[in-house]
């Protein structure tokens, strides 16, 4: 590659970097309101969680003394 090609690729990379930076920081789109997976869940009322993955031991977590998980 010659220096002309290198400088062209550098300009292309810089332009893409500037575009990504500007797009991420200045073009915030409003997120659609989601109903949620469990809309009526009350996190303070949960006392334990049990997960049973297939082919693996189960995972159990319990809340004690009013502390978080």
The model carries a pTM of: 0.41
Return the higher-pLDDT residue of 27 and 66: 27
Q: Is 15 left (phi over 0), alpha (psi -120 to 50) or beta?
A: alpha
Q: Is 25 helix (H, G, I), strand (E, B) or coil?
A: helix
Structure tokens at 61: 């977590």
**Mean of pLDDT over the chain:** 85
User: Picking from 9-13, 14-18, 62-66, which range would have the lowest pLDDT averaged per residue?
Assistant: 62-66
Look at residue 12 and tell me whether its pLDDT is greater than 90: yes
């Amino acid at each position: 590659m010659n220096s002309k090609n290198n400088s062209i690729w550098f300009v292309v990379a810089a332009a893409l970097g500037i575009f990504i930076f500007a797009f991420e920081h200045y073009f915030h789109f409003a997120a659609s309101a989601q109903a949620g997976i469990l809309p009526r869940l009350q996190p303070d009322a949960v006392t334990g969680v049990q997960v049973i993955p297939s082919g693996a031991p189960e995972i159990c977590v319990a809340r004690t003394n009013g502390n978080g998980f």
